[in-house]
Amino acid sequence: MLPFGIEYYRPDTIDEALKLYRRLRENHQEPVFYGGGTELLTRARLQNVHFDAVIDLKNIPEVRVHGRSGDWLEFGAGLRLTDLADGNLWPLLTATADRIADHTTRGQITLGGNLLSTIPYREASLPFLLMDEAEALVATEDGIESRPLANLVSDSFIKPGEFLVSVRVKGDEAKGIAYRSRKMTRQDWIDYPLVTVAVTRRADGSLRAAFSGWAGFPFVSSAVNHILSDTGKSARRRAQEAVAHMPVKALEDLHGTREYREFVTEYTLAQIIDELEDD
Ligand SMILES: Cc1cc2nc3c(=O)[nH]c(=O)nc-3n(C[C@H](O)[C@H](O)[C@H](O)COP(=O)(O)OP(=O)(O)OC[C@H]3O[C@@H](n4cnc5c(N)ncnc54)[C@H](O)[C@@H]3O)c2cc1C
pLDDT tens, position by position, 157-170: 999 999 999 999 99
Domain 177-278: give its CATH architecture.
2-Layer Sandwich (3.30)
- Residue 279's pLDDT band (cuts 50, 70, 90): confident
- 20 CA to middle of ligand 1, Å? 22
Q: Which residue's CA is minimally distant from atom 34 of ligand 1?
A: 113
In angstroms, the CA 207 to CA 201 distance is 5
- 237 CA to middle of ligand 1, Å? 36
CA angle 214, 208, 154 (to 5 degrees): 55
Task: Read off the amino acid at residue 76.
Answer: G
- Residue 1's pLDDT band (cuts 50, 70, 90): low
Task: Give the pLDDT of residue 25.
Answer: 97
Of 119, 149, 152, 255, the residue with max ligand 1 atoms within 8 A of its CB, to mutate for a pocket test, comes to 119
Task: Determine the number of helices (DSSP H) and then strands (DSSP E) in the chain.
Answer: 11, 12
Closest CA to 177 of 212, 149, 197, 205: 205
Task: Give the pLDDT of residue 175.
Answer: 85
What does the pLDDT look like over 91-144, one tens digit per residue?
999 999 999 999 999 999 999 999 999 999 999 999 999 999 999 999 999 999
- 92 CA to middle of ligand 1, Å? 20
In angstroms, the CA 96 to CA 128 distance is 11
Closest CA to 268 of 214, 231, 215, 223: 214
CA angle 60, 66, 72 (to 5 degrees): 115
Per-domain boundaries in the chain = 7-56, 62-173, 177-278
- Residue 250's pLDDT band (cuts 50, 70, 90): very high
Give bridge partners of residue 237 from the DSSP assignment: none
3-state secondary structure of 198: strand
pLDDT at 28 over 90: yes
Out of 2.40.128, 2.60.40, 1.10.1060, 3.30.43, select the CATH number for domain 7-56. Answer: 3.30.43
Closest CA to 129 of 22, 222, 39, 238: 222
- 165 CA to middle of ligand 1, Å? 15
- 278 CA to middle of ligand 1, Å? 36
Q: How many C-beta atoms surround the C-beta of residue 9 within 10 A?
A: 17
C-alpha neighbours within 13 Å on the C-beta side of residue 105: 13
- Residues with CB under 6 Å of ligand 1 are 32-40, 42, 57, 77, 100-101, 105, 108-110, 112-114, 116-117, 119, 121-123, 158, 163-164, 192
Long-range pairs, 67-73, Cβ under 8 A, ≥24: 68/171, 69/168, 71/170, 71/171, 71/172, 72/168, 72/169, 72/170, 72/171, 73/168, 73/169, 73/170, 73/171, 73/174, 73/175
CA distances from 163 to 55, 167, 179, 224 (A): 10, 12, 30, 32
**Residue 4: exposed, middle, or buried by beta-carbon count in 10 A (0-12, 13-18, 19+)?**
exposed
What does the pLDDT look like over 191-248, one tens digit per residue?
899 999 999 999 999 999 999 999 999 999 999 999 999 999 999 999 999 999 999 9
State the average pLDDT over residues 145-167.
Answer: 95
What does the pLDDT look like over 32-88, one tens digit per residue?
999 999 999 999 888 888 899 999 999 999 999 999 999 999 999 999 999 999 999
Task: Give the pLDDT of residue 33.
Answer: 98
- 246 CA to middle of ligand 1, Å? 26
Q: Which residue's CA is minimally distant from atom 7 of ligand 1?
A: 100
In angstroms, the CA 1 to CA 11 distance is 24
CATH of domain 62-173: 3.30.465.10
Q: pTM for this one? A: 0.96
- 196 CA to middle of ligand 1, Å? 17
Ligand 1 atom with the smallest distance to the CA of 110 is: 25
